[in-house]
Structures are given as structure tokens and as C-alpha cells.
Amino acid sequence: MPHTMFLKVFLFFLLTGASCAQESSTGAVWHLKSSPHFQIYHESSWSPASISLELERLYGKLRLNISMFAPWMVQEKTRIYIYKNQDTYLNGEFTPPKWSKGLAYFNKKTIVVYDTGNIVTLRAVIAHELTHLYFESFYGESMKYPPQWLNEGLAVMMEDLSYTEESPWSLALKYFSKEKIIPLEDFFKMKLEQLDSDEQIGYWYLESFGAVSYLFQPHKRLQFKNFCSILRKGEPLNSALWKLYRLNGPAGMEAPWRYWLSAYSAKETKGFSADFPSASFNFNAVEPSSFGFTNFGSGGNRR
């Protein structure tokens, strides 16, 4: 039963000193802010409030959880391009789909997003896209693309961790209706493009988040890394689940996963919402186009 609640915290931009500016072939001017782990290009002369500090805090969480998939993130800076609004993003030089809120290009170590004026949402979108960037680079080493549920579930998990208070995803997972859960045997075979409503897609993202959160618990980090590694090598899901988790395929995962969900739901909550769109929620599936690239402006690159 859907209800409406989504975190809305609006902050004004603060004037920051841009260390340099770059003009793209389409006329966009990029102002650069550099932090220890990021090159942040923002289109507006007013950068999002405290963006460097926000991203470095976020980096700590990303490094802790997913640097095992992208060890290069420790030594190399990631480029982040932030358009000043949705219009300039959609009409920019690489013309993203209208439903897109961010893109990641692992081959150029770059993500592209737009500023909404809401630093909480912007941080969540960046967390989501950076996770795609780092995780897809792991699969890209073998010229492969990760399973959709695994890729999106991990991205939502890191998006969830980007919130300083309880996120709408964690809250929604606590109230995940049994009637809305798709049996894992069917769920792991589903594709986003098969779904035709915001509600169906929202629950698909929620189940992806729940499945990955179960497999990637703090004491199972090494198992999860090895699980992803053998999937990348072409191991069937059923045997991968057995080898790393002693689960007899999706059917064997069903009961312990639902038990874990019930324990998760028993946690103390502050409220309820079943309206849980991802901050970088896409109505259509993102195309696995990371293997190609086009020059992006004079300093960045795009997916």
C-alpha cells in the first residue's frame, strides 16, 4: 500500500573559489574544485554547498565497502561533472535519456550528474553512480557487465549509506510487504525493461537492495567479493550461491533471506513510507554502454 514520504532538505549554493574553468565544445564552462580523491567540475560558478567535504566523507564509506572491486580508487582521482540543472544536463553534449539522473563511465573514471539544489539527494545520486563506476570497472576488466540486480542492488546499498540519518531505502526495507516480494527464483531472472510502472520498478530496486544487503553483510565481505569474482568468470548463479554461501540456488536462499528480512523489519523505526524512489531512480534500464567512450569537454569523458 503506497504512501508518500521522501526526504527533502534544500540547501542554497555557497560561493566557492573555482581553481580553473574549462569550456566544452557545446559552450558549457566547467569550474574545477579539487579534493584528495576527486576532480569536481561544476558548470555553475556557484558550486553545490560543501561539495568537496561531502564527497570526501562519502569516499570513506565507498572505500571501506567497495575498494576491493576498484583498488585504483585509492591512487587515482575520479572525475565528477555536475551540471547546474536538469535542463543543461539533458541538453548537454552527450544527450542522456530524459529519465536519466546520472551516468557512470568506468573506462574514463568519470561520472556525470546534475545539481537539484538538494545536497542530500545530490550526494545520494553521486554515491549511486560512483558505485556503478567502481563495480563496473571490476567487471570491465573482463569485458563483461554485471548482472542487473547485483549492479543496481549494490548501488542502492551505497546510496543508502550516503544518508546521515535513516534513509528512505532502509525504512522501506523494514516494511517490505510479503505480498510485494517476488520469489527469488523469478526475481534473479527479471530485467528492468520488463517492468512497466514506477511502483513495479521501485519494488524491483528495493528487492535488489535487500538481496545484496543480505549477501554483503559486514562479516561476509570476502564471501561477497569472491561471489562476484566467480560470477564474473561465468559461474552460474546457482553454483555460485552454493560455493560461497552454501545456499542451494535462489530457492535455497529464499527462506534464510526472508528470515533475515523479518529480523531487519523488527528494528526500531521512526515512521513509514512505501514511496521509496532511488535518488538516481531510472524508469528504464541503463544501457551497458561503458565499453565505449566519447570525449567530454576538454577535460572529461562520458559513457
Q: Are 153 and 209 in contact (CB under 8 A)?
A: yes
| Long-range pairs for 26-30: beta carbons < 8 A, 24 or more residues apart | 26/92, 26/93, 28/83, 28/88, 28/92, 28/93, 28/297, 30/81, 30/297, 30/299, 30/300
What CA–CA distance (Å, rounded) separates 13 from 32?
16
Predicted confidence at residue 192, as pLDDT, reads 87
Predicted confidence at residue 107, as pLDDT, reads 86
The CATH number of the domain covering residues in 20-283? 1.10.390
Three-state secondary structure call for residue 21: strand
Strand pairing report for 38-42 and 78-83: parallel
Neighbours of 179 (CB within 10 A): 6
**Average per-residue pLDDT for the chain:** 81
What CA–CA distance (Å, rounded) separates 77 from 300?
12
Helix axes 221-232, 237-245, angle to 10 degrees: 150
The model carries a pTM of: 0.81
Q: Which residues of the chain have pLDDT under 70?
A: 1-27, 94, 266-303
Phi, psi of 279, deg, nearest 5: -60, -25
Phi, psi of 294, deg, nearest 5: -130, 145
Per domain, the residue ranges of the chain are 20-283
What CA–CA distance (Å, rounded) separates 78 from 80?
6
What CA–CA distance (Å, rounded) separates 125 from 113?
8
Q: What is the pLDDT of residues 245-265, one digit of tens each?
A: 999 999 999 999 999 999 887
Q: What is the pLDDT of residues 10-25, one digit of tens each?
A: 222 222 223 334 545 4
Predicted confidence at residue 205, as pLDDT, reads 94
What CA–CA distance (Å, rounded) separates 15 from 23?
20
Predicted confidence at residue 287, as pLDDT, reads 35
Q: Which H helix or E strand runs over 133? A: helix 119-140
Predicted confidence at residue 300, as pLDDT, reads 35
Cell of 257: 533471506
Neighbours of 247 (CB within 10 A): 20
Q: Are 274 and 2 in contact (CB under 8 A)?
A: yes
